[in-house]
Each structure stands twice: as structure tokens, then as C-alpha cells.
Amino acid sequence: MLKPTTLAMILAGGRADELNVLTYYRPKAAVPFGGFARVIDFALSNLMNSGIEQIAILSQYRSYSLINHIGTGAAWDMIGRYRGVSILPPFIDSEQQDWYRGSADSVYKNLDFVQYHRPEEILILSGDHIYQMDYRDVIAYHHEKDADLTVVCKRVEKARASRFGMAHLDHEDGDRGGKLTNYQEKSENPEGEWSSLTVLCFKPEVLYRVLEENQADESFEFGHDIIPRLMRQGSRIYGYKFNGYWGYTRTVLEYWKANMDLLGDQPLIDLERWGIRTNLDHRGLRDYQPALIGKNADVRNSLIYNGCAVEGKVVNSILFPGVHVSPGAVVENSVIFFSNVIGRNCRFDKMISDVNTIYEDDVQIGIDHGDSKKQIAVVGWNNRVPAGTKMGRGVTISPELDRDKWPGLLEAGRVLR
């Protein structure tokens, strides 16, 4: 077996404040997705399917759930002489005395690990995007152009452009890509129309140098600092155009929308065709019994996974393993995480429910309409919602809420802590 030439580093250390209670106790890369997986599974599966087998995961915020999920890396065939997944949390030594100060700083602080592997190219990936990509095509383009840095880009509508790093590309290679002639990070009026997907392929010597230079700055981010610095230096930076599906999961609404893209006769996300893998030992997924659908159940356009028992109505929804839906309950347009129990005559619409929550009978969540149609109700983990509770759309309930704090009715958008 030949030693790998590519080292991939997944940025999975942070928490997205916009995901609110879903990231109280886990990093955003470890948030459950699609009925059985975690968000980071997309980057890991892409790497596996691309034949890239030397991987480091940069983790900082509440790493336990991510470490538990990755395990040995066996779920993605990352075990062998030249294969492996290494999790790199912050550390203290004679030189380093603080946390990772940003995405670029997290890589800088682990340059001894990187240089030990002596890669021919270094692939930097975000761990919180939903997409399918063969990174070998990106790496081939990177070498063809003899680029110092290749940035994978996707065209986005102007209304969303201010949220991303935006690049302008020349037309050197048509639909394949082109040279970056301008780059702006989260500008209100960006000149470019190609968004960076935080898939970055570096020449190692270029990355080592620019990370060292960045240490004199006050900010340490690839988009905000590293790419602009290389642009100013006249480095050879190319954009590789990506035209496939790309799901952004930074906000609750975006996360919910990406899950809904799994549904329908021709879903935008095809987990089987994409070859997505997960760790079936995490939460004992392989040990659940088959799903049970009662004779009076009504299931439409939904994903129901092992260990579920459905006796009510489920429409346009995703149920993770271990969810029980009692008779008379109606679940619509919702994402229900592991081991939720939904009592009789409950009614849910546009809701995300975190793990291990019990809903007693006659609970209603997200049933109002009016001006809050786009809002998603979110219930944190390990709750027991009292019978008869009514909550409007957009409400957010903190994890493990004391029972005596539950009111009978909550107005939409209020957060209970």
C-alpha cells in the first residue's frame, strides 16, 4: 500500500449560536441529521469515497459527542497502516497557552502533526456542510493549475451573498473554474458571485508560510484572513466550480430545510446514492429492532428508521431510531431525534425535537400560522413536556427544563431557560 499524499483536516471545533439549543451540548458537526447520521458524516463519507484516508479533525467545543461518534474511524474504513482519523483538541505546552483562536489558528497549532505526515497537498474542509463531492477532481485541478491554493466555489443568489466569502473568477477554464481575481468575506455588496464552500486545497509550503505570517494578526480565520492575505501577495489562487447540491446548516431554518430535502419522490439529497456512512455503534443504532407501523397508522412522504413505533399520523417528517408516536398523534413537517416518545393526541408542525424527550398526551407545538410560517419550534433534549401544553411556532425550549417551569401556553418565539 502506498503512503497517502493528501492530508485532510476537518474544521469541526465550533458551535453555531444560530442553532441554539441543538448545540448546547455538542459541536455543530455532531448534530444529528437525516434520521440516522451526523452532519460531519458528509465530509467523512466524501473523503472515504474519494480515497483520502489520512484525516485530522480539529475539535474544540464540547468534543465528547464528536469523539464518541468518530470512534476508531472504522465506520469509514479509516483503519490501517496508512489510514486513520486523528482528533486534535486544543492543548497546553511550553509554547501554546490558549484555545484555538480561529480556524486558521487551529491548523497552525497542529503544524507539527501536519509536517510529520509530509503531505503533497493539504485539504481543509468544513465539517458542517451537506454535499457530495469527489475531492480527487479538486486535487487534479489544483495540480493542473500549479495553484498555491484552490478554493471550491458555488454560485449563490445575490440575496444570500453577504453571508459568505464571495469570489470573482475569470473565465480561464469555463465551467471547471478560473483564477480568483477578487475575494471578499461577508461583504454587504460583494463583487463576486461565487461563494467559497470552505473546501480549500493548499500547497503545503504556502500554507505553512501564510499561517506563520497570520500569527502577527488579530484574527485567525481562513476566509477573513488567509485568503485575502494570499490575494494581496499575488499568490496563484484558483476557484474550482461546484454545481451540485450544497446544504448550509448554520441556522435552525437552514438545518430544517436541508432535512426536508431528503423527502419526496426525487429528493435533492440521496443518502444511498451519495454513499453516506455513519457509526452504527454510536447510540447502538445497529441494535434497534425494525420499525413497527401500526394498522391504523398513516405515514406519508417520511423517513422512519429502525426502532420507531408509529401508531399515529406522520407526514413530511423524519423520525430517528427509537421514536414512538402514539395513537391519535399527528407529526407534520418535523424532525424528531433519537428516543422521543410522543403521547396520544399530540399535534406537531414544523418542529425539531432533540433526543430523549417525552411528550405527554395532548401536547400541541407549532400549530399556529399567521406571520410566523417560516419559524421552526425547537425543543432541547431530556425534557418531559406536561400534558396539555400548547406552544406556538418559533418557540425554543432549553434542555432539561425543570417541570415546575412549564407554562400551559407559550407565545411564539419565546425562549424558556
Total domains in the fold of the chain = 2
Question: DSSP assignment of 101-168, as one string?
Answer: -SHHHHHHTTHHHHHHH--SEEEEEESSEEE---HHHHHHHHHHTT-SEEEEEEE--GGGGGGSEEEE
User: Do 120 and 181 sit in the same domain of this protein?
Assistant: yes
- Res 415: pLDDT: 52
Q: Which residue range is the domain that position 387 belongs to? A: 288-416
User: Do 320 and 377 sit in the same domain of this protein?
Assistant: yes
Question: DSSP assignment of 310-364, as one string?
Answer: E-SEEES-EE-TT-EE-TT-EEES-EE-TT-EE-TT-EEESEEE-SS-EE-TT-E
Query: pTM of whole model > 0.75?
Result: yes
Helix (H, G, I), strand (E, B) or coil at 171: coil
Per residue in 76-112, pLDDT (tens digit) is: 999 888 889 999 887 666 566 677 888 899 999 999 9
- The strand pair at 358-359 and 384-385 is best described as parallel
User: Do 253 and 302 sit in the same domain of this protein?
Assistant: no
Local structure of residue 187 (DSSP, 8 states): -
Q: For the chain, how long is the longest CA-to-CA vector?
A: 68
- Res 412: pLDDT: 45
Asked if residue 140 belongs to a domain, the reply is yes
Asked if residue 63 belongs to a domain, the reply is yes
User: Do 243 and 304 sit in the same domain of this protein?
Assistant: no
User: Do 138 and 240 sit in the same domain of this protein?
Assistant: yes
User: Do 205 and 293 sit in the same domain of this protein?
Assistant: no
All cell numbers assigned to 36: 440516522
Asked if residue 334 belongs to a domain, the reply is yes
Question: Domain containing 80 — which CATH number?
Answer: 3.90.550.10
Asked if residue 265 belongs to a domain, the reply is no
Question: Domain containing 341 — which CATH number?
Answer: 2.160.10.10
User: Do 251 and 297 sit in the same domain of this protein?
Assistant: no
User: Do 226 and 316 sit in the same domain of this protein?
Assistant: no
> Which of these, 71, 66, 109, lies nearest to 90 by C-alpha position?
109
User: Do 204 and 320 sit in the same domain of this protein?
Assistant: no
Per residue in 200-222, pLDDT (tens digit) is: 999 999 999 999 999 998 888 99
Q: List per-residue pLDDT tens for the chain, 417 residues long.
A: 556 789 999 998 776 678 889 998 899 999 999 999 999 999 999 999 999 999 999 988 888 889 999 999 999 999 888 889 999 887 666 566 677 888 899 999 999 999 999 999 999 999 999 999 999 999 999 999 999 999 999 998 776 777 788 898 987 788 899 999 999 888 777 788 899 999 999 999 999 999 999 999 888 899 999 999 999 999 999 999 999 999 988 899 999 999 999 999 999 999 989 999 999 988 888 889 999 999 999 999 999 999 999 999 999 999 999 999 999 999 999 999 999 999 999 999 999 999 999 999 999 998 875 555 568 999 999 999 999 998 888 889 999 987 777 654 454 445 554
* Domain end residue (candidates: 214, 245, 260): 260
User: Do 299 and 405 sit in the same domain of this protein?
Assistant: yes
3-state DSSP percent of the chain in helix, strand and coil, to 5:
25, 30, 45
Asked if residue 282 belongs to a domain, the reply is no
